[in-house]
């Protein structure tokens, strides 16, 4: 069963086409890595999933609901899809627990006690329980990103979206974030990850999607992608990022 299904999605900024007839799907429990050069449309594609980026053509079904349909309740749909951003985007004026509690209380209607219990459970899981009362500005990038993942999980999502979660991190902090993501993948979470971390892809991805100039150039099972990528463009890309 497809959790997320893209059917011929196209998007334009003015006359510039950023997404060209993109079709793919992410099944329940599947981990899909999206990679490609900068400006290829990866982030735009992932932000279409929860309606942060509108698209002009095609159909996108998420958890049985059509994202482009004007009658779809977007906040309700978004509440079921966790999202992690490149720059963490924790709310700077709230401490860590308040960051995790906000949507639980305001969107799901949990009581503050229920929300706090859930938050503490998740902070424990991402190894951040000792920092529950700190503010985002007092934490390192890797710590902030682990909290951002916990914030997404606090909503009991049916799928998680990751938009370059390690690109803004110092090299030494990348692994602490990837470890959390690997664990999540191994527990069977449905995940769509825009990332250049090919080690992560090799370890837990089921499929790899390669994008270039707004098109899905390659959409292959992990073994095929790393074994014999069919497109020359993907081969070039891989050789560039793997030899560093």
Partner 1 sequence: MDFSFLSQPAFSGGGTYLDWVISGIKWTLLVSILAWIIAFTIGSVLGVLRTTRVAWLRTPATAYVELFRNVPLLVQMFIWYFVVPEILPKALGTWMKQGMPMPEFWSAVLALGFYTASRVAEQVRSGIQSIPAGQTQAALATGLTMPQVYRHLLLPMGYRIVIPPLTSEFLTIFKNSSVALTIGVLEMTAQARTISEYTFRTFEIFSLATVVYVLITLAVTVLMEFVERHVRVPGYIGTGK
Nearer to partner 1, 121 or 241 (CB): 121
* Of 3-11, 59-67, 75-83, 121-129: span binding partner 1 (CB under 8 A): 75-83
Annotate each residue in 20-59 with x if it binds partner 1 (CB under 8 A) or - if it does not, as one string. Answer: ---------------------------x--x-x-------
Burial label for 203, CB within 10 Å (0-12, 13-18, 19+), is middle
Nearest to 213 by CA among 244, 240, 199, 234: 234
Shortest CB 239 distance to partner 1, Å:
32
How many angstroms separate the CA atoms of 239 and 106, rounded? 47
Strand partners, 162: 84, 193
Nearer to partner 1, 180 or 217 (CB): 180
Provide DSSP, 33-58.
EEE-STTSSHHHHHHHHTTSS--SEE
124-183 binders of partner 1 (CB under 8 A): 134-139, 148, 151-152, 155
* Binding residue (CB under 8 A) for partner 1 from 39, 54, 75, 188: 75
How many angstroms separate the CA atoms of 91 and 148, rounded? 10
* b/e burial code for range 16-52 (CB count within 10 A of at least 16 → b): ebbbbebebbbeeebbbbbbbbeebbbbbbbbbbbbb
11 forms part of the interface with partner 1 (CB under 8 A): no
Residue 213: left (phi > 0), alpha (psi -120 to 50), or beta?
left
Q: How many of the chain's residues bind partner 1 (CB under 8 A)?
A: 34
Shortest CB 80 distance to partner 1, Å:
8
Nearer to partner 1, 99 or 195 (CB): 99
Shortest CB 153 distance to partner 1, Å:
11
Nearer to partner 1, 102 or 198 (CB): 102
* First-residue to last-residue Cα distance in the chain: 38
Please name the residue that has the structure tokens 């938009």.
Answer: 163
82-111 binders of partner 1 (CB under 8 A): 82-83, 85-87, 89-93, 102-103, 106-108
Shortest CB 15 distance to partner 1, Å:
22
Q: Give the interface with partner 1 as residue ranges (CB under 8 A).
A: 47, 50, 52, 75-76, 78-83, 85-87, 89-93, 102-103, 106-108, 134-139, 148, 151-152, 155
């Amino acid at each position: 069963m497809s959790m997320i299904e893209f059917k011929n999605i196209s998007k334009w900024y003015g006359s510039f086409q950023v997404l060209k007839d993109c079709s793919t799907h992410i099944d329940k429990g599947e981990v899909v890595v999206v990679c490609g050069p900068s400006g290829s449309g990866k982030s735009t594609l992932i932000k279409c999933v929860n309606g942060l980026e509108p698209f002009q053509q095609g159909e996108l079904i998420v958890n049985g609901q059509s994202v482009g349909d004007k009658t779809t309740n977007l906040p309700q749909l978004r509440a079921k899809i966790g999202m992690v951003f490149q720059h963490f985007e924790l709310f700077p004026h709230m401490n860590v627990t308040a960051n995790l509690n906000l949507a639980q209380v305001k969107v799901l209607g949990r009581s503050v006690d229920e929300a706090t219990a859930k938050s503490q459970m998740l902070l424990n899981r991402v190894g951040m329980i000792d920092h529950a009362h700190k503010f985002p500005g007092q934490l390192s990038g890797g710590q902030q990103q682990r909290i951002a993942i916990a914030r997404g999980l606090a909503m009991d999502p049916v799928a998680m979206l990751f938009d370059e979660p390690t690109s803004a991190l110092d090299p030494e902090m990348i692994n602490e974030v990837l470890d959390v993501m690997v664990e999540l993948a191994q527990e069977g979470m449905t995940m769509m990850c825009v990332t250049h971390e090919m080690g992560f892809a090799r370890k837990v991805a089921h499929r790899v999607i390669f994008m270039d100039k707004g098109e899905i150039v390659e959409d292959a099972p992990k073994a095929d992608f790393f074994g014999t990528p069919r497109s020359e463009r993907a081969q070039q890309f891989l050789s560039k990022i793997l030899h560093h």
